Amino acid sequence: MTSYSSPVTGYKKIAVIGANGMLASMLCDSVPKSVTLHRFDLPELDITDADQLNTTFAELKPDVVINCAAFTQVDACESQREMAFQVNGAGPGHLATVARNIGAVLVHVSTDFVFSGARTTPYVEDDMTEPISAYGESKLQGEQAILASGLSDYYIIRTSWLYGPGGPNFVETIIRLATEREELGIVTDQFGTPTYTGDLAAAIWRLISPITSYSSPVTQHQSQITAPYGIYHYSNSGVCSWYEFACAIVEQLRNDNASLKLRELKPITTAEYPLPAERPSYSVLSKEKYKQVTGDEISDWRYSLDRYFKNRS
Ligand SMILES: NC(=O)c1ccc[n+]([C@@H]2O[C@H](COP(=O)([O-])OP(=O)(O)OC[C@H]3O[C@@H](n4cnc5c(N)ncnc54)[C@H](OP(=O)(O)O)[C@@H]3O)[C@@H](O)[C@H]2O)c1
């Protein structure tokens, strides 16, 4: 059992922004009983509108603001840079200022794409950031805006390769394409870790558990924790290429006796599949800090994929 005293006891009013998105939906579906949840998304709340944020949150006075709002279309960020930097860069800064003014904790979700991918060992939280795409740059700017805001009570959680119910994501794309095409070429020279939104949502609730008296359904941990404010990495554990991830998805489909058109998954290189935005070739995140602070283990990406399939239909 891990036992610390809590720096943030007694608050339970939580605002989730970007609430219609993939991760936020899972957060909202797994909200601890002790929390009163307030959901916000476009068009009623726009994180690029500082005045609107001030008015909304000065009135509501949430104890925690969880920001899942983002411009997440990585390739579109290349052609819509201004929008990317407004939403992913300036928006989190506005939220941090509001959080500081009303005394709220800010939880903000960021990405493995803040790293260049030039390494071959997992990235820790204070490794040098060096984004190679407009999306990654804009998300890094969002992190920096939070740090520059003067807010001390924040958690920035970087994650990778998210999938879950309710969002376009790689798993759902492969499932669809496997029924439409006989052959699929999937990139085999980019490595990372898939993350099930169910696990990330549980990890976020776990980090702020002193507020909600929450214990993770994944780990069944009952211990109270104090997670010092700052940056955390969270993904599932293990490493794979997109090709290996696709193979595991198709294996799940075959085990479920799904009717597939697909005959062959072909490993291809990044060069054979050019996209507007460059991707890191290696963006595995080290989760040691999260594990140490919470005392929790993190499930392997294959195990979580299996759970996703079991819960899916
Ligand atoms: N998906 C991944 O693979 C991945 C990987 C690493 C990190 N992340 C990060 O994880 C977080 C959640 O990702 P996700 O995939 O769940 O996102 P998502 O499904 O794209 O949801 C984002 C939500 O934010 C809303 N939004 C966009 N601009 C907004 C604005 N100006 N004001 C308020 N809301 C706005 C979107 O509304 P519209 O749909 O109407 O635009 C959408 O409902 C993001 O911070 C993302 O950068 C994602």
Here the CATH number for the domain that contains residue 154 is 3.40.50.720
Is residue 17 situated within a structural domain?
yes
| pLDDT-derived band at 212, boundaries 50, 70, 90 | confident
User: Is 192 close to ligand 1, i.e. is its CB under 6 Å away?
Assistant: no
Segment holding 82, helix H or strand E = helix 81-84
Q: What is the pLDDT of residue 224?
A: 78
* Intra-chain end-to-end CA distance of the chain, in Å: 36
Is residue 211 situated within a structural domain?
yes
Does the structure show a pLDDT above 60 at 7? no
**119: Cβ contacts below 8 Å, ≥ 6 apart:** 127, 282
Does the structure show a pLDDT above 50 at 76? yes
Is residue 244 situated within a structural domain?
no
Distance of CA 122 to the CA centre of its chain: 17
Burial class (CB in 10 A: 0-12, 13-18, 19+), 155: buried
Q: What is the pLDDT of residue 172?
A: 97
Index of the ligand 1 atom closest to the CA of residue 47: 32
Mean pLDDT (whole number) for 293-301:
97
User: Is 41 close to ligand 1, i.e. is its CB under 6 Å away?
Assistant: yes
Index of the ligand 1 atom closest to the CA of residue 135: 47
How many other CB atoms are there within 10 angstroms of residue 59's CB atom?
8
Q: How many domains does the chain have?
A: 1
User: Is 285 close to ligand 1, i.e. is its CB under 6 Å away?
Assistant: no
Q: Which two three-digit tokens encode residue 127?
A: 């490794």
User: SS3 for 233?
Assistant: strand
pLDDT by residue (tens digit) across 171-195? 999 999 999 999 999 999 999 999 9
Is residue 254 situated within a structural domain?
no
User: Is 20 close to ligand 1, i.e. is its CB under 6 Å away?
Assistant: yes
Q: Which two three-digit tokens encode residue 174?
A: 């492969």
Nearest Cα residue to atom 43 of ligand 1:
21
User: Is 209 close to ligand 1, i.e. is its CB under 6 Å away?
Assistant: no
Does the structure show a pLDDT above 50 at 9? no
Domain hosting 212: range is 13-160+197-235+286-298
Q: What is the pLDDT of residue 167?
A: 85
Is residue 128 situated within a structural domain?
yes
| pLDDT-derived band at 80, boundaries 50, 70, 90 | very high
How many other CB atoms are there within 10 angstroms of residue 139's CB atom?
33
Nearest Cα residue to atom 10 of ligand 1:
109
> What is the pLDDT of the chain when averaged over all its residues?
93
Q: Which of 16, 38, 42 most suits a substitution to test ligand 1, by most atoms within 8 Å of the C-beta?
A: 42
Q: What percent of the chain has pLDDT over 70?
A: 93
The DSSP bridge pattern shows strands 195-196 and 162-163 to be parallel
Does the structure show a pLDDT above 60 at 165? yes
User: Is 69 close to ligand 1, i.e. is its CB under 6 Å away?
Assistant: yes
What would you measure as the largest C-alpha separation in the chain, in angstroms?
57
Compute the Cα dihedral for 278, 281, 287, 288 and give only its sign.
negative
Does the structure show a pLDDT above 90 at 10? no
Q: 205, 32 in Cβ contact below 8 A?
A: yes
Index of the ligand 1 atom closest to the CA of residue 162: 3
Reported in sequence order, the residue ranges of the chain that DSSP labels E, i.e. its strands, are 13-17, 36-40, 64-67, 105-111, 154-159, 162-163, 183-187, 191-192, 195-196, 230-233, 240-241, 264-268
pTM beyond 0.85: yes
* Separation between Cα atoms, residue 25 and residue 278, nearest integer Å: 28
User: Is 87 close to ligand 1, i.e. is its CB under 6 Å away?
Assistant: yes
Q: What is the pLDDT of residue 217?
A: 57
pLDDT by residue (tens digit) across 126-141? 999 999 999 999 999 9
Q: What is the pLDDT of residue 213?
A: 67
> How many residues belong to the chain?
313
Specify the range with the lowest mean pLDDT, choosing from 58-67, 208-217, 238-247.
Answer: 208-217
| pLDDT-derived band at 226, boundaries 50, 70, 90 | confident
Is residue 256 situated within a structural domain?
no
Distance from the CA of 46 to the center of ligand 1, in angstroms? Answer: 12
Is residue 276 situated within a structural domain?
no
* Separation between Cα atoms, residue 21 and residue 87, nearest integer Å: 14
135 catalytic residue (yes or no): yes
Distance from the CA of 22 to the center of ligand 1, in angstroms? Answer: 7
* Separation between Cα atoms, residue 292 and residue 149, nearest integer Å: 28
Distance from the CA of 239 to the center of ligand 1, in angstroms? Answer: 24
Q: What is the pLDDT of residue 221?
A: 53
| pLDDT-derived band at 6, boundaries 50, 70, 90 | very low
Is residue 190 situated within a structural domain?
no
